[in-house]
Structure 1
Amino acid sequence: MTDKLIDHHQSARGEPRVALVTCTELSDLDPDDRLVLAPLAARGIAAEAVVWDDPAVDWPAYDLAVLRSPWDYALRRDEFVAWARTVPALANSAEVVRWNTDKRYLAELSAAGVPTVPTAWVAPGEGWVAARSGEYVVKPAVSAGSQDTGRYDLADPEHRALAVAHVRRLSDAGRLTMVQPYLHAVDTAGETALLFLAGPDGLRFSHAIRKGPMLTGPDLGVEGLYKVEEISARTAAPAQLAVAEQALAAVPGGTGQLLYARVDLIPGPDGAPVLVELELTEPSLFIGYADGAPDRLADAIVTHLAGPA
């Protein structure tokens, strides 16, 4: 089956060429992403890491460009979306990139009936009055790797002042701010990420992982692009899979266009899973935490190389 799929798209150059799109800081790819290189080679596919904003790259020379770790785009989102439109064969697509790199998509999914974490939006120039109690998360609508994200206990006057300053800092930079209640279940149950990969008959559930809590307090502007995550394998519960399927069903254009998807869930106050993020642009796929996942990702890439049946 694999050879047949590749033959369907075999380029005149010989073996298919795939660009695994990354950023300068990870020019050799994230270690998890490197796990797909050998399975791709075994399938006759030449894959290499390529930096998204390298002006010397000839994108039409690749049969497929797969977004993996271009994690420096957040402060240049417009440039990144414009770049995506110039890549002839991009997964996930430029239109998915445009929609998914602005977390206002959460409002669309909520309106479609997907259980999502409640979110207040503060536009640049708008005032924001902090509540007098409760724990909240403040973050920009465009971000990657928990950048510019903080957790605040608004019953604490110092935290409340820091939260107000955080919103003002984002506003002054012209960035839309999100304010969400902190879901305390993440401290015990953790966050569940459900990973889906393309197959011949559409997007399929591949595996799930547990992420431990990452936010310990206010954002104090500490430098650093990536934060350390506590990751372990997890078995997805039926209720989690149901919410994931509901969220994916609401993606504009449908799931047939997707090479991968990651659905991040946390138990809400009643214990039922709620969506915190639907990652379709550059998510870590955690393929090192599930048997066979690197091969499933390689097969997903083969499926996209084959194009429409």
Structure 2
Amino acid sequence: MQRPRIALASVAAARALDDDLPPLEAALREAGAEVVIADWDDPAFDWRGVDLALLRSTWDYAERLPGFLAWAERVATQTRLLNPPDVLRWNTDKHYLADLERAGVAIVPSTFVEPGMDAKAALDAFLAGTDANEFVVKPSVGAGSRDAQRHGRVDCTRAIAHIARLLDAGRSVLLQPYLERVDEHGETALIHFDGVFSHAIRKGPLLRRGDGPTDALFAAEDITPRVASTDERELATRALAAIPFAGPLAYARVDLIHDADGAPRLLELELAEPSLFFAHAAGSARRFADTLLARIAAPA
């Protein structure tokens, strides 16, 4: 019987930074698969020659989104792509948070500012609706905390300039109150394979007071294992159930932080190219490898 061939999609600038690639490659080979790591933007790679293409560290997609989504649509006609293009198109723009909120998922309160709107007027309206001392400005299409920054309401000059810079570049902007519990509790990221909870990690707070946006491919992260609480797991389950596509998805990461009352709130739902933190959960890489092989064996 021929060994299934799986392509792990990355990009040249990210390969050496992706801690998930070595354990996943090893787990897939141990499970009987042939594995190749390919740059998503390599025009010479033949995606028709693999049984499954898996997005891993395509971490430059936010700067090249139209081309990336066109690539995903094309590859999905040549092989099985995970996650599929319709999911990627929805999830790579944080306007999806509004969809989840309408579906009853408790999200971090989110306000969108669109190109053509006045930065100061939009920020004034946002601040009038929140009592938070600090807030976050980020692009609606972005990854790795790039172009995201924490601001204080006392002096909004930098925040207005930040919003205006993004709007002037034709980018939608997301405004969120900074939930201060994250400074102590951090984020909880819950990883699911085929809709089943696998493991969780704690991510330390990323946006430091006074720091500007990172210039790196992604902001440096402080990661440790975490036992997810019952209410965190319940919110993650509700968020996955609210995804407007047939499921379950092969992989999903649900990022949560806690509000002033200690209740979890969805910060982001990562369905495109999230880190899955195999090093912090024994057996997780093999569980994911088995999920992928089962997908290949199942009818398309």
Residues 21-45 of structure 1, C-alpha deviations (whole Å, 9 max, x = no match): 1111123561222111111111210
Change (3 A) 1:114 1:177: same
Q: Write the distance in 1 (CA, Å) between the matches of 2:11 and 2:206.
A: 23
Structure 1 residues 270, 125: closer, same or farther in 2, change over 3 A?
same
How high is the sequence identity, in percent, across the aligned residues?
47
- Residue 221 of structure 1 deviates from its aligned partner by 5.3
Matched, 1:194 2:182: no
How far apart in 2 are the matches of 1:301 and 1:286? 17
Verify: 1:37 aligned to 2:25, yes or no.
yes
Asked if structure 2 preserves the Cα contact closer than 8 Å seen for 1:208 and 1:236, the reply is yes
Please, which runs of 5 or more residues in structure 1 have no aligned partner? Answer: 1-9
Deviation at 1:308, TM superposition (A): 3.5
Residue 102 of structure 1 is matched in structure 2 by 93
- Distance in 2 of aligned mates of 1:221 and 1:231: 20
Determine which of 123, 134, 141 is the counterpart of 2:114: 123
Whether the 8 Å CA contact 1:139–1:178 is kept in 2: the answer is: yes
Q: Is the 8 A contact 2:188 2:202 kept in 1?
A: yes
- TM-score, length basis structure 2: 0.92
SS in structure 2 at match of 1:188: helix
Deviations 1:260-293 (A, max 9, x none): 0000000112111000000000000001101111
2:298 alignment counterpart: 307
- Structure 1 residues 303 and 295: alpha-carbon distance in aligned structure 2, compared to 1, 3 A threshold: same
User: Do residues 217 (structure 1) and 209 (structure 2) align?
Assistant: yes
1:135 pairs with 2:131: no
Tell me the secondary structure at the aligned position of residue 174 of structure 1: coil
Question: What SS does the corresponding residue of 2:73 show, helix, strand or coil?
Answer: helix
Name the amino acid aligned to 2:5.
R
**What is the CA-CA distance between 1:227 and the residue it aligns to?**
1.6
Q: 2:35 aligns with which of 47, 51, 68?
A: 47
Q: Which runs of 4+ in 1 moved over 3 A?
A: 130-133, 217-222
Q: Deviations over 1:61-80 (max 9, x none)?
A: 11000000100010111111
The change in CA–CA distance for 1:214 and 1:17 in structure 2 (over 3 A counts) is: same
Give ranges in structure 2 of 5+ residues lacking alignment.
Answer: none
Partner residue of 1:268 out of 259, 263, 273: 259
Instruction: Give 3-state SS (helix, strand or coil) of 1:247's partner.
Output: helix
| Separation (CA, whole Å) in 1 of partners of 2:210 and 2:52 | 40
User: 1:60 aligns to what SS in structure 2?
Assistant: helix
- Supply the distance in 1 between the matched residues of 2:235 and 2:135 (Cα, whole angstroms): 23
Structural RMSD (CA): 1.6
How many correspondences in the alignment?
289
- Answer yes or no: is 1:166 the counterpart of 2:162: yes
Decide whether the 8 Å contact of 1:19 with 1:47 is kept in 2.
yes
SS of equivalent to 1:276 = strand
1:154 is matched with 153
TM-score normalised by length of structure 1: 0.90
Cα offset, 1:154, TM superposition: 1.3
Deviation of the 1:219 alpha carbon: 6.1
